[in-house]
Structure 1
Amino acid sequence: MFKGVRTVILDYDGTLHDSTKNYIHAFKQAYAYLIDAGYAAPRDWADAAITKWLGYSSKAMWENFMPDLDEEIRSKASKMIGQILLEKAKTGQAILYEGALETLQALKEKGYRLIFLSNCSRAYMEAHKESFGLDRYFDGMYCTEDFGFIPKYEIFDSIRSVFPGGYLIVGDRFQDIEVAEHHPVRTVGCRYGFGFPGELESADVLIDDIRELNDLL
Structure 2
Amino acid sequence: MSTRRQLPEAMLFDLDGTLFQTETLLLPAYHATFDELKAKGIYTGETPPEERILGALGMLLEHIWMRVMPDSSPEVHREADQLLIHHQLQGLIEGRGVLYEGVAETLQTLHDKGVRLFVASNGLESYVKEVIAAKGLAPLFENLYSAGEYQTRSKVDLVKMLLETHGIQNAWMVGDRSSDVEAGLRNNLTVVACDYAGFREAGELEGAHIRIGHFTELLDYLA
8 Å CA contact retained: 1:26, 1:84 = yes
Structure 1: runs of 5+ lacking an equivalent: none
Are residue 86 (structure 1) and residue 96 (structure 2) matched?
no
Structure 2: runs of 5+ lacking an equivalent: none
Using the TM superposition, give the Cα deviation of residue 21 of structure 1 relative to its aligned residue in structure 2, in angstroms: 2.7
SS in structure 1 at match of 2:21: coil
SS in structure 1 at match of 2:96: coil
> Could you tell me which residue of structure 2 aligns to residue 121 of structure 1?
124
Matches within 5 A, 1:47-126: 47-126=50-129
The code of the aligned residue for 2:46 comes to: P
* Cα distance in structure 2, aligned partners of 1:33 and 1:132: 27
> Could you tell me which residue of structure 2 aligns to residue 189 of structure 1?
193
8 Å CA contact retained: 1:33, 1:77 = no
SS in structure 2 at match of 1:178: helix
The code of the aligned residue for 2:145 comes to: Y
Cα 1:197–1:90, aligned 2, differ >3 Å: closer, same or farther? same
* Cα distance in structure 2, aligned partners of 1:120 and 1:58: 7
Structure 1 residues 60-69 or 16-25, which shifts more?
60-69
Aligned-residue CA RMSD (Å): 2.0
* Cα distance in structure 2, aligned partners of 1:195 and 1:97: 16
Cα 1:29–1:64, aligned 2, differ >3 Å: closer, same or farther? same
Matches within 5 A, 1:154-173: 154-161=157-164, 162-173=166-177
Cα 1:91–1:34, aligned 2, differ >3 Å: closer, same or farther? closer
Listed one character per residue, the Cα deviations across residues 17-42 of structure 1 (whole Å, up to 9, x for unaligned) are: 00113212222232344445263432
* Cα distance in structure 2, aligned partners of 1:114 and 1:2: 17
> Could you tell me which residue of structure 2 aligns to residue 207 of structure 1?
212
Identity of aligned residues (%): 28
SS in structure 2 at match of 1:211: helix
> Could you tell me which residue of structure 1 aligns to residue 151 of structure 2?
148
Using the TM superposition, give the Cα deviation of residue 43 of structure 1 relative to its aligned residue in structure 2, in angstroms: 5.3
